[in-house]
Each structure stands twice: as structure tokens, then as C-alpha cells.
A = this chain, B = another copy of it.
Amino acid sequence: MTRNRPLILIVNDDGIDSSGIKLLTTAMHEIGDVFVVAPNINRSGSSHSMTLHEDIFLEKINKDFNYFTCSGTPVDCVKSAVNKILPRIPDLCVSGINHGSNHSINSLYSGTLHGAMEGTIQGVPSIAFSHLNYSEEINLSPFKAIIKRVSLAVLRHGLSDGITLNVNFPNIDFSDIKGVKICQQGTGVWTENFQLIKEEQNRKYYKITGTFRDDKNDINTDSWALENKFISIVPISINCTVPINFTELKYLEYDF
């Protein structure tokens, strides 16, 4: 390993074989020493879940590079990397590139973002990258330069404790993108579709799919930025407390 090069952990939720993590890995090899620890299967929608009720496995899958698969969730991958694989705490953790949106309310469901958030919990500056197109076939290579730029900026500046960056790329031609905006999380709605697959004894089996629709959002949100041809970056907190005036809830407080 070369001295003075940053140590970079790469994770995702689409799994080790996705084209998104391959491009992210190519980009990170250009700026640091790379360890990839990614799920062996697609783990989309994992959020911050952990594997508590079964064992997980880790497997090195490349002779020449530090590429590992993990049978657990993105959070398991990061915990495994820090505890069992990496030679030291890394300088940066990047997650993605996810094939599909992680903006707006999707930040709650996203395994990509929550892999990066586990990096933040472990004390590592961490960034999640996602593209609003859900196809594995899309050409992500034009985004390599901006990914490197954001990553290098975070390596240089660091991030405040407890903050993860959630970066989303709009689903338009790269040449039409207008710039990069720091945003707040927007609001949107999933409408679920429960498709009845079969009935057996007293059980009804369903396949759940859904359609996402952004609300009409303010100019300061990721939803607005993406709709208006910007790359959005939302600083996400591992502290989930509502920033409200707590007097609103004083009616619940009392002494026994």
C-alpha cells in the first residue's frame, strides 16, 4: 500500500456485481488505496438494518485487490470492514453508485445511504452517491469527475461529527446538468401496489411494488434541485431528533 494515499472503504446496497460500484471503485483507485466490502446479493431497501439472527460470511473475491463480499446488509458490510478487514479506520467511506433515487423520503429506505451513515457512526467521513435512473445499463462514467471532486473536497475539509452527505444525480444527460446544490431533504410519496401472487392455506402472498412521486417542493430541497437539473447534496444527520421548539410537546411531560 502506498504511503500517504488515503484509505477508502467502498460499500453499496445493489451488490458487488452492480455497475455502479464498479465505476465508484475505478474512481476511488485514482485517489486512494481501496477496500471494497459489498453485499453478495442485491440488498436494496435495507435501510439501517443489521443481521442479528443468523451468521454472516465474508469472502475475499479477488487475488490482486482488496475486494470482499459479505452476506449481510450494507451496515453489516461497514461494521465487518472496520472490525475484521481494514488495517485501520479509513479516511473516507463512499457508498454506491446506487441505481435509483435516494433523495426525499427515500433516504429512510436506502441501504446505500445507511451504509454511508454507518461509516459516519464509525467516525469516518462518509458519502452516498445515487443516480435517479434505476437501470444498471446507464452510462455512469461522465459522473466520475464530480464523484472524485466531492470525495477529494471531503478528504480535505472533513465533515462535522454525525453528518453524512447524500448525493443524488438527476436522470438527464450529463451535459444538461447545471451544477451542484446543498439542499434539505424534500418530501414525496410512495404509492404501494400489492400484487396477490397466491393463496395457500390461510396465507395470502403478495409482491410489493411502488411508484414514487415528489410533492411540490421548495427551492431549497433535493427534490427541487433534481427536477431543475442540479446534482443535490443533502447533509444527513445520525441524530434523528426533530429540531422543534420542545414546548410543543410539554403536555406529555410530568413528574410521578
Contact = CB atoms under 8 A, between A and B. Distances in A.
A48 B184 contact: no
Contacts of A253: 179-182, 233
B56 A179 contact: no
Contact of A45 (B51, B108, B163): B51
Interface stretch (A19-27, A28-36, A77-85, A91-99): A77-85
A235 B250 CA distance: 11
Given A240-B185, A256-B179, A83 B194 contact: yes
A85 B4 CA distance: 58
A56 B208 CA distance: 8
A216 interface: no
For the complex formed by this chain, how many copies does it contain in all? 2
A211 interface: no
A107 interface: yes
Contact of A107 (B58, B165, B194, B240): B240
B47 A114 contact: yes
B49 A185 contact: no
A241 B249 contact: no
B242 A194 contact: no
A244 B58 contact: no
A108 B114 CA distance: 9
A86 interface: no
Given A179-B253, A182-B249, A59 B105 contact: no
A64 interface: no
A49 B240 contact: no
B48 A206 contact: no
Contacts of A10: none
Given A55-B205, A55-B207, A242-B236, A48 B50 contact: no
Contacts of A252: 150, 153, 165, 180, 182, 233
A160 B53 CA distance: 35
A1 to B, nearest CB: 22
Contacts of A244: 160, 163, 235
Nearest to A189: B121
Contact of A52 (B45, B56, B75): B45
A79 B192 contact: yes
